[in-house]
Amino acid sequence: MVSREGNVQHQHHKTQCVIILCFFVGEQVKYLTCSCGVFSKFLPNFRIEGTTVPMSSFLNPYPDFAQLESLLSNEQKQTQLTVRSFVQNEIEPKIVKAYRSEEFPVGLLAQMGAMGLLGANLSGYGLPGMDTVSYGLLMKELERCDSGIRSAASVQGALVMFPIHAFGTEEQKNYWLPRLFSAQSIGCFGLSESEGGSDPGAMKTTVKDKGDHYELNGSKMWITNGNLAEVGVIWAKTELGIRGFLVPLNLEGINVIKMQNKLSLRASITSELVFDRVKLPKSALLPKTEGLKSALQCLNQARFGISWGAIGAAEACFVEALHFAKNRILFKKSLTSFQLVQRKFALMATQITQAQLLVFRLSQIKEQQNLQPAQVSMAKQVCVEMALNVARTCRDILGANGIMDEYKTMRHMANLETVYTYEGTNDIHLLILGQELTGISAFN
């Protein structure tokens, strides 16, 4: 057995404490950590008052009570490990600064493009055609770091590349898909408007046919990646209904305004797009778009990724709070010794497991091309509500420490307030399920 003792002064606490690190007993690594609990979030096992407290075998290192890890193929496991390593090494060290400064980490999309992570579930045109579970794992690993990171990748793949892939001409696909896949070009998706909210059909943005060109007028709000984008997939009303258009954002008459002072999703770029008599070539039309249903097809692609991603955020909060609680001493014993705290962890682990099982099964159905919109709505509603509740509970367990950004839980909690609302609010998805079950629409 090897041990090491020392005194450490924590800059943010200005107090002295004793740490004992790295006890090796057999093949297990045990730890004693500082009395103030600062190191708890980094340590997997703890020795408290002479008793070894190992982590559960169902933490791998995140909750896996359904043992879904055992069902993954070698290729899926490799995808998960590769993305996890990339996130831990390249994104985690930058995310707190990015969140504080309300800036997306510079060059991150280019790195994702070089790794083949953008629109990876699409096939043809040089795209890898990643299987559905692997794509879900990718989204989960990104959002385990931050919802804003997953949002950037999700928009590029599900809301820009997918509509081009599904509704574009061969010329549009051949030009844009390789560029977007490699992040040589960045795109955004313009459906939401300031007064539209949950009723996208009430949009005021219009495109009029002027003979040899189109004229675009209106505005879009809450647009992820807007200030980074070269091109936007913009939805507008025409004489023939709602259609999608590929709009280069450097055209005369377009103003892209960064939305600032957000309290959530701060590491994501959010923009307003304003169009004033913008002249579009006839080649801008995505010819296979047919009404609002085409836009909603895109949203369902993104919502599926969100469902997986939200679980990653929940898992991150859960593990951080559990590590903290194991080493937090109250009334001369670990915080995890108390029944109320154990109950919270038990409920959270159960809810995370239920969400994991749901998205795993729906991924199998999606792989068979049988996934229905109501199933996607169920997943988005259940997974995001679960993740937000887990984040709130974990913040409570962290106590006062939970409001400091050295801990990730409150950042996830704030981000998930946005995820709870965008891509269809929680209530809207419940109404979609209600319509599926009753046959009666609550929207009309």
CATH code for position 131: 1.10.540.10
Return the amino acid letter for 44.
P
Active site annotation includes 423? yes
Angle at 123 between CA 117 and CA 127, to 5 degrees: 45
103 and 210 share one domain = no
Of 259, 292, 325, the one marking the end of a domain is 292
Q: 321: Cβ–Cβ under 8 A, 6 or more apart, which residues?
A: 345, 393, 394, 397, 398, 409
User: What are the strands, taking DSSP E only, across 153-258?
Assistant: 187-190, 206-209, 214-224, 231-238, 241-248, 254-258
44 and 154 share one domain = no
147 and 32 share one domain = no
Q: How far apart are CA 253 and CA 383, in angstroms?
A: 40
Among 252, 315, 423, 436, the active-site one is 423
Q: How far apart are CA 246 and CA 164, in angstroms?
A: 8
Residue 314 lies in a domain: yes
Element (H, E) at 126: none
431 and 304 share one domain = yes
Q: How far apart are CA 66 and CA 83, in angstroms?
A: 22
Of 141, 157, 181, the one marking the end of a domain is 181
Q: How far apart are CA 204 and CA 196, in angstroms?
A: 8
159 and 253 share one domain = no
Task: Count Cβ atoms below 10 Å from residue 10 Cβ, excluding itself.
Answer: 13
Residue 27 lies in a domain: yes
312 and 329 share one domain = yes
Of 271, 292, 313, the one marking the end of a domain is 292
307-341 burial code (b ≥16 CB/10 A, e <16): bbbbbbbbbbbbbbbbbbbbbbeeeeebbbbeeeb
Residue 263 lies in a domain: yes
Q: How far apart are CA 387 and CA 365, in angstroms?
A: 23
Residue 357 lies in a domain: yes
User: What are the strands, taking DSSP E only, across 69-186?
Assistant: 123-124, 127-128
Cis upstream peptide for 61 (omega within 30°): yes
176 and 199 share one domain = no
Give, for all 444 residues of the chain, the pLDDT tens digit.
333 333 333 444 433 343 333 333 333 333 333 434 433 333 344 343 434 455 688 988 899 999 999 999 999 999 999 999 999 999 999 999 999 999 999 899 999 999 999 999 999 999 999 999 999 999 999 999 999 999 999 999 999 999 999 999 999 999 999 999 999 999 999 999 998 888 888 999 999 999 999 999 999 999 999 999 999 999 999 999 999 999 999 999 999 999 999 999 999 999 999 999 999 999 999 999 999 999 999 999 999 999 999 999 999 999 999 999 999 999 999 999 999 999 999 999 999 999 999 999 999 999 999 999 999 999 999 999 999 999 999 999 999 999 999 999 999 999 999 999 999 999 999 999 999 999 999 987
DSSP string covering 321-374, please?
Answer: HHHHHHH-EETTEEGGGSHHHHHHHHHHHHHHHHHHHHHHHHHHHHHTT---HH
303 and 408 share one domain = yes
Nearest to 309 by CA among 406, 386, 223, 222: 386
CA 19 to chain centre: 36
Task: Provide the CATH number for the domain around residue 307.
Answer: 1.20.140.10
**Predicted pLDDT of residue 55:** 66
169 and 191 share one domain = no
Residue 199 lies in a domain: yes
Asked whether the beta carbons of 376 and 149 are under 8 A apart, the reply is: no
279 and 303 share one domain = no
Tokens of 286: 């995505």
**Predicted pLDDT of residue 201:** 86
Q: Which domain holds residue 157?
A: 68-181
348 and 217 share one domain = no
Residue 443 lies in a domain: no
Q: How far apart are CA 351 and CA 333, in angstroms?
A: 27
Q: How far apart are CA 370 and CA 367, in angstroms?
A: 8
Number of domains in the chain: 4
Task: Provide the CATH number for the domain around residue 274.
Answer: 2.40.110.10
Tens digit of pLDDT for each residue in 407-431? Answer: 999 999 999 999 999 999 999 999 9
Residue 285 lies in a domain: yes
Residue 61 lies in a domain: no
172 and 196 share one domain = no
